[in-house]
Each structure stands twice: as C-alpha cells, then as structure tokens.
Structure 1
Amino acid sequence: MIESVRTSTVRHSPIRPTPTRKATAGIAVLATVLSACGLFGPDQPDTVSQQFADALNSDDVQAAAALTTDPAAATAAITAMYDGLGNKDGTYTRTDVQESGDDGGTFTMDVSWPFAPGQEWKYSTTGNATKDGDDWKIVWDPAVLAPGLTDDTTVRYTTTTGTPPKVLAAGGAPILEQQVVTLVNLDQGADTAAVASLLSPIAPTITAASLQQDLAGAQGKPVTAISLRAEDLAPIEPQLRQLAGVTLAPQTRLLSTDKALASPTLAGLGDLWQQGQDASAGWAVQLVGQDGSAKSVAGEQGPDAPDIATTLDLPMQMAAERALADVPQQAAIVALRPSTGEVLAVAQNAPADALGPIALTGLYPPGSTFKTVTTSAALQAGAATPDTVLPCPGTENIEGRQIPNDDEFDLGAVPLHTAFARSCNTTMGRLAVGLPPDALQKAALQFGLGVDYVTPGLTTVTGNVPIADSPAARVESGIGQGQVTASPFGMAMVAASIADGSTPAPMIVQGQPGAADKTAPAVPANVTADLRTMMRETVTGGTATALQDIPGLLGKTGTAESGSGPAHGWFVGIKDDLAFAVFIATGDSSAPAVQAAGRFLR
C-alpha cells in the first residue's frame, strides 16, 4: 500500500477489554414463595428463571436459549451480546420473582459486567415466564439481557477519547494532528487502468500493471492501492466513486500537518501522542442500531490528553530537509541548541529513510570530525597547546599503520591549531599514540559521545569509543577510524558540548530533558575555548573555507573510510546558540557535507 504522505503515522483503534475469569454468581434467596402451580412449586426446585441465570453465568448460550420461547432469536442475541461486549464475564443474579396467575410470573435480575479496572456496567432487568404445557419458559425479549435491547439493536463496549491532542512545534504551530485519510480499495475485476490514471499523478509508481499484480497476488481478496490525505482525495473523489470495484474507506490517523515534513523524530512523538490518548481513554457501553447509530447507556469519559509542545524549530526543520532533498546518497542533519539541549531539527532524505532513522541511531566512523575529541584529550593531557609546533608530513608510518593526509598534502612543521584547521591526519595520529589507552574514550564521554540518553519522545544512540589498548588502535581512533563510531546525533552533541562548555541533556518535549546513563567530568573551560578558536580557523583558513561567508561560523570537516566503497563525508558546526552535524554517506569527501551545511545555514 502506498501512502500519499512521507511520514510515520499512528493508527488509533479502540482497545478491547482483556477477558477475565467470571466470578461465581451468587444465588439469591427467593423474595416470594409461590404456590405449587407457580414458578416455585415443590415439584420444580430449580425455577426456569434461576436456570436461565445459571446458564448465562455458565456461558452456556444453547442452554439459556433453550429455556426461552424463541431459542433461535435468543441464541443470536446472547451471542451478539458476548461479541459486542468483548467478554463473557457478566454475572446475572436473580433477585425477585412474582407469581402472575397459575401459568405466568415475572422475575428480576441484577447484572454486572466488568471490563477493566474501574470499568463496570451494573443494571437490572425484568423478565416474564410462562407455562408451556408441562414446562416453564422465559418469554423471549432481548431486554431481559440488557435494558433497552431490542430485536433491532445490539450492545457493544468501546473505549472513548476526548479531543485528540496536537503535537506542536516550538512556535506553537501544529506539526502532527489526527486527520482523516481514505483508503482506496480495489476488488477483483476493478478497472486498473482507470484507477492508475487517477492515482499516478499523486504516486507515480502506481500503474495499471502494478495494480493488476497486486490483485493477482491477493488470491481473490480486495487490495488497498493507496491511502490519501483529504487534499489529495478531493480532486479525484467523484471519479473514483464512479468506478466499479473501487471502494473508499476513511480512517483516522496521526499525520504531519505538512506532508513534506518527514523528520525521523515524528515516530517517537507519535508514540508519546498515543500514550497520552491511551491514558485519557474513557469507556462506554452503547446500544447500536441497524443503521450504525449508537446511544451510550453506561460509561465514563476520560480526561482530555494535553497537547505535546516540542522544541522543534519548524522553519529550521524545513530548511534542513530542503538542504538534503537533492542529495543522491543517504544524508542527515541534526541541529541542537547548546545552551538548553533542545532538539531544533532532525532531517534525513528519502534514501536515508529507507534505512531507518540514521540521523538518530545510525553509527558510522566519524573521521576527522573526531579530531575535536582527540585534540581535547591531548590538550587536557598536556601533550600540546594550540601553539605547539608539530610535524604534519604528507604520510607517515605510525606503529605499523601508514597514515596519509588527504592527497598526501605536506605542511611541514606547523602549530597544532593549523594542523587542526587543515585536518592533518599524521599530526593527530602521532598525538593519539602518546595518550593513555582510555584517554580518547574519556574525552569522548565528556562531549556526550558514548553516553546513552533516555529522552521522552526521542530514541537515540550517540556512538562508541572503546579503550584503545594498542598504539596502533590509538592511531586509528585518533583520526576517527578503527572501532570508533558515531551517529549524526552523537556528533551534534559533541558540537553542542564544545559550544556551551558542558554537555547539555537532549530534549525534544519542552520541559522533559533526557537522562544520561553516565556522567563525565566537565572539560576545562580553556580547552573548549581553544577548540572553538581552532574550529573558527577551520572555516576562515582551513578545510571549510567554502563557508567563510557565514558570519561567526565554527566547524570541523571529516572524511571517513567506509570499507571498500567511497568515504563518508561529515561536517560539524557551531553558530551562536546552534550546533549541528551533517552526514552524507559515501560522499567520497567532506565537500558534499560542507555544501549541504551551506544550504542549511543560508
């Protein structure tokens, strides 16, 4: 089935009660003792009314129906009642019997139907009994089962909800709300060519042949060709309704208000929305007519679920999506507000969508963007200062690993800040070798990389920086290769930590920050200040000069080997109270990521 939207949706269906074991019905003491020819004569110790109640309590539909004057109608009504209420847990207690001549009488029953904790339908019914030859029968009337029940109505249990909440962007505009979508269903024999001509302008992959193939594989059953938003359905609805074998089935779903909005954050926010709906659920027992009309006879309305106020900046989100739309490879952008940890934008393109939420949980080698961590570790260890002059040869064999710079550029001996801005692999590899095995792991944790966060509405993985036990492993880790991995979200957290001087708790629902599974000591303020200066130099005179027209931008480029294919490209940036990461898989260099960052910011 094809959706007319590129976004996650949440279906909401009434929750059926979980069947529970029926309590044993109590047998009431008779209120009135009738004569030998009445309902309670000594020759009939179990009266027909008690037998009827006992059969219902035993869930014996056939036995209960057989005690009535119309077993067929009684069987259908009792069965429909059990089906509509979703369980057979009703308890019928016969409470009173009155004689009405020698061949009739009336009785009452107290009834209780439990559905869920705090949900119980209690009522009383009245029935008539009559003598049929030598036997007594219940005069069949559906109302003996439940008040108001007739031959033309059924009874059902349903959950209820109040006004559906909305999911709001930071500015208060709705980004997710419950909407009506319409399924276009095709029966066997439908005119697939006519249907395809109407649907292909909305979904170009739909053709007469594709629809025919779907029908052929359905083994005679109907198929759903597409689900359409209201604005997509309206222009073609009259034509679709005229086609034989085509039916339109409306449903309610949680959808983005703009179908161009397709952030991977919407799935988690949709889950929160559903939790709110579930928590606000009420219940009702309804009498349902043959025309589908329903009248509530019992129940309680739940409280309205509150709207969900998010931190997403809608203009920034759409800018991020536009920046990636034409990138042929999988691509992602994550933007945060360093001072608060607010998630401002999470975007990825259609090729990335096919792999899942890679912006939040996809793990890749971070390449040279990890030099922010390596440099922080070296500065904290006292191995160098920003002005320490270090060699930057075009290639160098370090602990058996031949490390080249990009195109083997050779700077000779330069200050660390220049080696950082120009992204010297050889300099960083040599620095990393001299660090303790756990130095890079500890430095990464100080920036949130390798920390797991439990954040309401947001599922994330930051990355993994294992202890580098060997010098060769430290060389690889120092340039963001080997066993080091990071997600775009994780590298955005690194940028945010450098920008703010401490690692913020990520947050996508206002007032509900995430909780970290571990904490690390803060990076010294002078170290993060030095890193910010070096990242500014990267833009003004290093590997990101293509962005030097953007005032105040700080950044770090990254190219990461990805195995046998082209390298991945990265860019992490800081501008005022904005930190972000751009990732483009198999981009072959950092240039596509830098270009996407420019489109995003400009």
Structure 2
Amino acid sequence: MSLRGARGATAIVAMLAMVLAMTSCSSDDETDASRAVQSFAEAMSRQDTQGAADMTTSPSQAAQSLGVTFAGMHAKELSVDTGRLVEYSDGSASFSLTTTWTWSDKHTFETKTSGSARRLSSGWKVQWDPGLLYTGLTADGRLQEVRTDAKPAPTVRTDSGKPFMQMEPVNELTVNPATTKDLAKTVRALASSVQQVAPKVTVKSINQQLDSAQGQEVVAVTLRDSDMAMLDSDPSRIAGVNVHKSGMLVMSDRRLSTPLSSGITNYWNAIRDATAGWQVQLVTPGSAPQKLAGHQGGAAPDVNTTISPAQQLALGAAVVEVAQPATMMALDAKTGGILAMAQNDAAAKKNIDAGTAYPVGATLDPVFDALEGAGKAKDKSTVDSALNSLGLGLEYTIPGLSMPQGAKPRITAAAYRPKDFMASITSMAALGVALERAADGQDSAVAPFVIKGAESKVAGGELGKLDDAVVRQIREKMAATAKNGDASDITGAPGLRALVGTNGPQGPGWFVGSQGGKVFVVYCEGDRSGTAALQVLQKYFRVR
C-alpha cells in the first residue's frame, strides 16, 4: 500500500470513530434520555399539563401552550407515541412524536413532529418547542377542535309552510363581576341601556342571575341586531359588560310567544347535531383560524310543524285575560296536530307544562258516567282500557313538545270514578280529539303531535278502538253543558261542546271542548279557577 493510500485509510477510520463517539442510535436499551422523553409523552397522553411541562426545559412556557391546546382540543383520548431517539456526545438527543387526538364520536386527528432533549444538571429534559404539538405552532398559538354546522340552518315552518322560527345573529350582553370595580353601577347602567328594547331586563333580574352564578359571568340579555341598533348607547362601553356575537333560533314574528318554542328548539338542535361536522384549527392571534382537518355533513332539513300563527296570536291574547296561572292549547280536531299553545306569566312562573298530570276533579264525571252506562266499569283493567282508548291514563312523548325535566308525567292508576284521577293537558287534548274523530267516522284516537313526520309515542297503555256508545253519551253531555250548563254563557261559538270542572274551591279548573273543527284545552289554577278557564275561552272567541 502506498503512503498516500495508508493515510487515506487512516483518515476514514478516524472519521468513523468520531461519528461513533458523537452518535448513538436508539436501541432496546433504555437510557436516561429515552426515559425522559417517554415520561413527557406519557404525561401528554394523560393530558397532564403540569406533568408534561415539568419534563421540559421551560415548564412555564410549556404549561401555557399545553394548557390552551388541551382545553381547545378537549379530546376524549390522547395517544402520544415516541419514535426513534438518537443521542449525541454533546449531551443532546433527537426524537419523533406521533400524537393522535380522539373524540367521543371516534373522529381523530394525527400529527407527526420532531423534537430534541438536553442533559441538564437536573437530568434529561425535553427542549420545549410549541412545534412538538404541531409543526409551525408558535408560542402564542394553539390548536382547537370546533363544531361546524352546514349552512343554511334549517328553518322551522308553520302549518302553511311559512317561517315560524329561524336562525338569526344575536348579541349576548354579559356581565363579568371580575372586570368591574363597581358591580352595582355596572348593573344599573346596563339595565338602563337596554330598557327601551328589553323592559323585562331590570336591575333586579340581572342581580338574581349574578347571585345564582356566584361570581361567574352571566348573560344578562340577548338582543337581535335590530334591537342593538335602537340602543342610545353602546353597552360594551360599560365596565364589566361584554358583547358576544352568536346565532340563535328566534321567532320570525316577534309578536308570538309560546311554551312550544323550547321543545321545538330542542328538536331543531337535535337534527342539527345529527348533521354537525368538526374541524381542527391552528389559531394564531391576528390571523384567521387555519383548517387542518375536518368533515362537514350536509345541511339539515327544515322543520315543518302544525302551528298556526293566527291561532297562536289568539291564544296568547286569551290567556292574559286572567291574572292567575292560565294555559291553553288548541288542536286540529281531525289529526291531533297542535295548532298553538300559550300561557300567561303566572303559569310560566309556576312551570305549568303540557306533560305533567294535574287533578281533574269533577271535569271527567261525564266520561265515567258514560263508562258505567256502557258497562265498562266492571273492573280496573276494563276501566283502564276504556280510558286509554279515549287518550286518558297514558304517557305521551311528543317530539317538539317539552316534557318535565327528570320526571315522567304522574298518571294515577285508573279505577272506577277515582277521586284523585289526574291528567295532563296533553292527555285531555287527546280526549277532545278522540271524541271529534269518532263523530267524524274514525274508530280510534291519535296522539297529539307538533312536528310533521315525527311520530309521537305512547306508554302505559294503548290507544284502542273507540266505543260508539261511550262516545255518543259523552258528546251529548258536552253539548248540554255548552247549551244549558256551566259553559252556557260562552258566546260566539256555535256548536260548542264542553267538559267543565274543578278540583274543589282552589282548583285547578279545566275546560276541554271542541268547536269549528278545533279542540281546546284550558287549564287554570287558584281560586275560582273554573270560572277563569271559561273567561279565557270567551276571550279567545272574541279575538280569534
């Protein structure tokens, strides 16, 4: 070998030795560096912000970035796997991470990043870099997963297909006690600012919300853009008040108000949830969110209802005729479709709803008389079956109609002429419809409904075949009550049929009847509630 060749070979050997001294490829042997990186990855997988941050060279900065991203991504599961780790002779190492975010509906988002570690006096630590979470992420940025909804949002439509409720941009005016030095002054200023367009928002109402929230931010009022334009001053200039833009399902006709709106909104939200999408975004201050991944379903269909705005206006005017709690429902006599439902403020404060059962007192005496006359009062099972065929003694689940939260309607077991028999507004409505359907030649009752195409469900019995003899006797008594009995003072209602009664001097009082192809149920509480129910109905016939 020549001298030049020997020197070349020596140089190559020296270079290989240097590389081997600087670099050690990862192997199955666990090192301090690999243990540190693995501990960091495990803490990440637990979404343990502080635990992961403590394994880095900059715990405070790491905690900030990890915390906002964990919160923004709100993943059900997080899996962080470490890749090949390479150590260097200068006390550093490099590694790769595969991070997989998984949400409750099983959609996932995966990133592949690389990082480094350093040997410090306190041991090996991961060199903190926001890019460990996503390549290109900066210290002031974050990742977030957000829900997305297809546009346009579905419209809730009336029985004639016109808009009844629709999505509109709204402004949530919030009060945050932590951002004002004089909370009382803030509340007074906000109440004064919105008084012109929201007279029910008062110092008292805002303070009640603040007391319940125990120091947390509360939404004092939600205003449409048109309402905001009418304000004399900008509420956001009030210390402690913030204005948040959002969207809300609102009445197309601002004159309308109905307890049906909450149940319809729940149904509307449910169909939007079924078509909702998702998106993972890279958020950097001063820039629009950047989409990294996601999926969007198609737009949800419009919600078609049985509601008549004209009937809703009439019922709304009728229930305010009395000061005591009053609730009224109107239905199409042939189909059982709910045309309208209204209640006054007193009923709303008492949480009167369509699904809870209330005492009926003597209201249903004509029904029990008819059962006895037709030989249907032999035993409990016979009575139950006969009542069920008329829509009574059953539990209804009606899409678009809110039921009591956390409780089913209380239905007292039927027995012949029970003194404590109870019925809901819904079941009384079903009774009225059953009687009208029988007169129209139909042989069965139907469950009330408000969303077209969404089937109402019945529990606790079955809507069996109607008995002609029972129906005939009940309807005869109802006609007599309207002509010569307790409902005979009602005017402007030719052909009215009525069941009227109370559960004693303190009520409640009921009216269940039909006229002009519609069924009406009125429920009132308090002293002279039977008279109050008739007053509500009379007002309806005057304004309809």
Does residue 282 of structure 1 match 2:257? no
Match of 1:120 among 96, 104, 108: 108
Q: Does 1:344 align with 2:343?
A: no
| 1:91 correspondence with 2:92 | no
Match of 1:525 in 2: 468
- Residue 263 of structure 2 aligns to a residue whose secondary structure is helix
2:366 aligns with 372
What residue number does 1:506 align with? Answer: 448
Judge which range, 251-260 or 180-189, deviates more: 251-260
Q: 2:293: which partner in 1?
A: 298
Instruction: Summarize the Cα distance change of 1:197–1:525 in structure 2 as closer, same or farther, 3 Å threshold.
Output: same
Alignment of 1:586 onto 2:526 = yes
Deviations 1:265-317 (A, max 9, x none): 33322222232233323222211112473212122223433332222222212
Match of 1:165 among 141, 154, 158: 154
Is 1:453 aligned to residue 396 of structure 2?
Answer: yes
Alignment of 1:248 with 2:243, yes or no, is yes
The equivalent of 2:136 in structure 1 is 148
TM-superposed CA distance for 1:259, in Å, is 4.8
Is the contact made by 1:184 and 1:248 (CA closer than 8 Å) also made in structure 2? yes
1:176 aligns with 2:165: yes
Which residue in 2 is equivalent to 1:486?
423
Q: In 2, are the aligned partners of 1:570 and 1:593 still within 8 Å (CA)?
A: yes
Say if 1:462 and 1:333 are closer, same or farther in 2 by CA, change over 3 A: farther
Correspondence for 1:332: 327
Which residue, out of 556, 570, 587, partners 2:498? 556
After TM superposition, give the deviation of residue 129 of structure 1 in Å. Answer: 6.7
Q: What is the identity, as a one-letter code, of the residue corresponding to 1:346?
A: M
**How far apart, CA to CA, are the structure 2 residues paired with 1:238 and 1:577?**
50
Give the letter for the 2:488 counterpart: T
- Give the Cα separation in 2 of the matches to 1:541 and 1:62: 80
C-alpha displacement of 1:192: 4.8
- 1:497 correspondence with 2:425: no
Scaled by the length of structure 1, the TM-score of the pair is 0.71
Residues in 1 aligned to 2:108 and 2:214: alpha-carbon distance in whole angstroms: 43
Post-superposition offset of 1:154: 1.2
Shift in Å, 1:507: 1.8
Could you list the per-position Cα deviations for residues 355-387 of structure 1 after superposition, in whole angstroms to 9, with x for gaps in the alignment? 1133442402242x41331342144239xxxxx
Against the structure 1 CA distance between its residues 101 and 300, is the aligned structure 2 distance closer, same or farther, given a 3 Å change threshold?
Answer: farther
- 1:365 touches 1:560 (CA, 8 Å); kept in 2? yes
Question: Shift in Å at residue 532 of structure 1?
Answer: 3.3
| Contact 2:445-2:466 within 8 A present in 1 as well | no
Q: Tell me, yes or no, if the aligned pair for 1:329 and 1:584 is still in contact at 8 Å.
A: yes
Note the C-alpha offset of 1:513: 2.7
Equivalent-residue separation in structure 1 for 2:279 and 2:469 (angstroms)? 64
The answer to whether residue 278 in structure 2 is matched with residue 261 in structure 1 is no
- Asked if 1:46 corresponds to 2:26, the answer is no
Q: Give the secondary-structure state (helix, strand or coil) at the position aligned to 1:546.
A: coil
2:69–2:144 contact (8 Å) kept in structure 1: yes
In the other structure, the counterpart of 1:307 is: 302
Question: What's the counterpart of residue 407 of structure 1?
Answer: none
SS in 1 for 2:22: coil
Aligned-partner Cα distance in 2 for 1:66–1:332 = 61
Measure, in 1, the Cα distance between the counterparts of 2:410 and 2:520: 14
Q: CA RMSD in A?
A: 4.0
Distance 1:361 1:213 in 2: 27
Q: Which amino acid is the alignment partner of residue 142 of structure 1? A: P
Q: Paired residue for 2:40?
A: 55
**So what's the TM-score if we normalise by structure 2?**
0.78
List per-residue Cα deviations over 1:96-122 (Å, max 9, x = no partner): 578999898865443322223431112
Once the two structures are TM-superposed, the CA of residue 525 in structure 1 deviates from its matched residue by 2.7
1:450, CA displacement in angstroms? Answer: 0.5
Deviations 1:449-491 (A, max 9, x none): 11222333333848546324xxxxx5xx5xxxx2122233322
Question: Could you list the runs of 5+ residues in structure 2 that have no partner in the other structure?
Answer: 1-18, 439-443
> Secondary structure of the equivalent of 1:36?
helix
Q: Residue 368 of structure 2: SS of its match in structure 1?
A: helix
Counterparts of 2:56 and 2:107 in 1: how far apart (Å)?
30
Instruction: Decide whether the 8 Å contact of 1:39 with 1:104 is kept in 2.
Output: no
Taking the aligned partners of 2:347 and 2:124, their CA distance within structure 1 comes to 73
User: 1:16: which partner in 2?
Assistant: none
Q: In the alignment, is the contact (CA less than 8 A) between 1:364 and 1:485 conserved in 2? A: yes
Contact 2:174–2:217 under 8 Å retained in 1: no
SS at match of 2:374: helix
What residue is the counterpart of 2:313 in the other structure?
318
Aligned to 1:381: 375
Deviation at 1:537, TM superposition (A): 4.1
CA distance in 2, matches of 1:217, 1:580: 38
Tell me which residue corresponds to 1:30.
none
Secondary structure at the residue paired with 1:273? helix
C-alpha contact 1:532 1:554 (8 A) present in aligned 2: no
Secondary structure (helix, strand or coil) at the match of 1:453 reads strand
**Equivalent of 2:488 in 545, 550, 555:** 545
CA deviation map 1:183-210 (0-9, x unaligned): 2426342355544433344455655677
Which AA in structure 2 matches 1:371?
Answer: D
Shift of 1:142: 2.4
Aligned: 1:35 with 2:20: yes
**How does 1:430-469 map onto structure 2 within 5 Å?**
436=378, 438=380, 441-458=384-401, 459=403, 461=409, 464=412, 466-468=414-416
Give CA deviations for 1:385-420 in whole Å, capped at 9, x if unaligned. xxxxxxxxxxxxxxxxxxxxxxxxxxxxxxxxxxxx
Identity of matched residues, %: 27
Deviation (angstroms), 1:335: 2.0
Matched, 1:536 2:479: yes
1:73 Cα deviation from its structure 2 partner: 3.7
User: C-alpha distance in 1, partners of 2:503/2:234?
Assistant: 54
TM-fit CA distance, 1:509: 1.7
Q: Find the aligned partners of 2:356 and 2:454 in 1 and give their Cα distance.
A: 20
The verdict on how the C-alpha distance between 1:465 and 1:331 changes in structure 2, with shifts beyond 3 A counting, is farther
Distance 1:89 1:346, change over 3 A: closer
Residues 71, 185 of structure 1: CA spacing in aligned structure 2 closer, same or farther, 3 A cutoff? closer
Cα pair distance change 1:549/1:94, threshold 3 Å: closer
Q: 2-side partners of 1:62 and 1:494: how far apart?
A: 63
| Partner Cα distance (1:220, 1:203) in 2 | 24
What is the match of residue 517 of structure 2? Answer: 577
The answer to whether the 8 Å contact 1:215/1:223 transfers is: yes
Tell me: CA distance 1:569–1:259, structure 2 relative to 1, closer, same or farther (3 Å): same
Extract unaligned runs of 5+ from structure 1: 1-33, 383-434, 469-473
Deviations 1:135-185 (A, max 9, x none): 987665422331221223111223333233333322223333444242242
Task: Give the number of aligned pairs.
Answer: 502
**568 and 65 in structure 1: CA distance in 2 versus 1, 3 angstrom threshold:** closer
For residues 260 and 103 of structure 1, do their structure 2 counterparts lie closer, same or farther at Cα, with a shift above 3 Å needed?
same
**Matched residue of 1:556: which SS?**
strand
